[in-house]
Amino acid sequence: MLTIKQALEEAGQLQAVSESWQLDAELLLADALQSSREHLFTWPLQELQQQPLNVFRSHCQRRLQGEPIAYILGSRAFWDFELQVNHHVLIPRPETELLVESAIALLRSDQFQVRQFQDRESQDHQSPALQILDLGTGSGAIALALAREDQNWQLTAVDISAEALQLARKNADALKLSNIEFRQASWCDGLPANEYDMIVANPPYIAADDEHLREGDIRFEPLMALVAEENGLADIRQIVRQSRDFLKKDSWLLIEHGYNQQDEVAAILRAAAYSNIECRKDLAGIARMSAGQFLA
């Protein structure tokens, strides 16, 4: 019989694959015990039953093969909630929270308050929802964060992958969200024109020959979620071009992109007649996303 402390020591083998191996081991053991990390620190001398020990060792084997913790645990925290994840979806990244934050700030700005007021006046005092489109929703991370923020925002979440959509629906159900419609499509194909107050997207933007694709967690993620042709820019180009026909006048496109794609994305937005183009950087000064307004 091993104690909690001894099992965590045994997991020292994870050093070979992970810089954060201690944290990984604690998360994996807490999951095997269906408990919390606090439990491990409080009861280090507790002896493990065979079943949780087997689960823990199997988790560690998977981690040793390089599999990301989020796939082994089947979940990842994003924004202010927990999402189920599996091999069909990208593991949501902290940097994508910058896109969520920017979208919320814009949707709460005077521009949209005035728009909702005017719509209410013209539509018999009913309060119409703002229409927001999330392209390439994956696990649903962005759409769910926005849908939770305001029940008066109506989300349409699109993905080409049926498996991703199945999981995104499950995540929406777990959070009891009813203001999201899911749709299987390639980007904007088949959607109603001039309908959306905002389009948000975190499309694939990594070039096929990028060496990062052969390193670490990313090796286990679906290529369909990561890689785009034309040096990583093909999907961004397509979304920027298409989106104009689906936005209402004066509405916004917010798009995540690679740390070194800021200038190219600005040029793509300009060429598609977007205005007020702005790139947002994270706290480390790394370019993460750009926004543009379609004024025509």
Ligand X SMILES: C[S@@+](CC[C@H](N)C(=O)[O-])C[C@H]1O[C@@H](n2cnc3c(N)ncnc32)[C@H](O)[C@@H]1O
Report the interface residues with ligand X, using CB under 6 A.
Answer: 89-90, 92, 96, 136-139, 141-142, 158-161, 164, 186-187, 202-204, 224-225
Show Cβ contacts of residue 236 under 8 Å, excluding neighbours closer than 6 positions: 203, 205, 228, 255, 257, 261, 265, 268
CA distance 268 to 234: 11
CA distance 269 to 237: 8
Alpha-carbon 177 to chain mean position: 17
Q: How far is the CB of 24 from ligand X (least distance, A)?
A: 21
How many CA atoms are closer than 13 Å to the CA of 2, on its beta-carbon side?
16
Q: How far is the CB of 220 from ligand X (least distance, A)?
A: 14
Nearer Cβ to ligand X, position 7 or 191? 191
Nearer Cβ to ligand X, position 164 or 207? 164
Which helix (DSSP H) or strand (DSSP E) does residue 201 occupy? strand 196-201
Nearer Cβ to ligand X, position 107 or 228? 228
Nearer Cβ to ligand X, position 111 or 166? 166
Q: How far is the CB of 87 from ligand X (least distance, A)?
A: 12
CA distance 19 to 223: 25
Q: How far is the CB of 151 from ligand X (least distance, A)?
A: 21
Q: How far is the CB of 18 from ligand X (least distance, A)?
A: 22
Nearer Cβ to ligand X, position 56 or 205? 205
